[in-house]
Amino acid sequence: MSEDASASQPLWQQGWYRYAHRCPSPNFGPRPSGTPIDLVVVHAISLPPGEYGSSDVLDLFTNQLTINAHPYFETIRDLKVSAHFFVRRQGQLWQLVSCDDRAWHAGASQFNGKDNCNDFSIGIELEGLDGHTFEASQYETLSSLCAALADAYPIVHIAGHEHIAAGRKKDPGPGFDWRRLKQSLTWPDTHFPAA
């Protein structure tokens, strides 16, 4: 496809983002009818924990993880999970589930008095480890993606997994710079977690 033809393509097609590499996951389902998609949830993941650059995260989300490749993988053998997006350390963006569908990223969760955040949220996984810092390229990709999401969906909140599953999850953790993301997006303070 020529550059001119690519530029004429819509930014979103049936919930798929033009600027993301596609790696479709089988782990998704329909959203409840009439549910507005108004929350972005930021996560951190690396497999094995603290190791970066392999295909293991994408393999997990597509049920192709080689369990005997690392002892840790035995502990997640039966997981069937996904996210809408995965942002690598260098900022490369992958999409696994259409944003129109319900990815399986939040688990038992609650936000603003509503349970089951998967129903009304978009999950973005950053390659990283909760408590550790993230790369400038990841913030750039995350910021541009969030802006594009807000143009296509009625996004009014962004939170970490730790905010919607308090006590159960700790990601993205204290190493994630919410102020940096806030300055980049210039969304109202009410869109972000309380400091």
* CA angle (131, 133, 135) in 5-degree steps: 150
125 assigned to active site: yes
- DSSP structure string for 5-50: HHHTS-SEETTEETTSEE---S-EEPPPTT----EEEEEEE-SSTT
Which residue in the list 51, 74, 125, 162 is annotated as catalytic? 125
How far does CA 46 lie from the centroid of its chain? 13
* CA angle (16, 6, 11) in 5-degree steps: 35
Q: What residues are labeled active site? A: 125
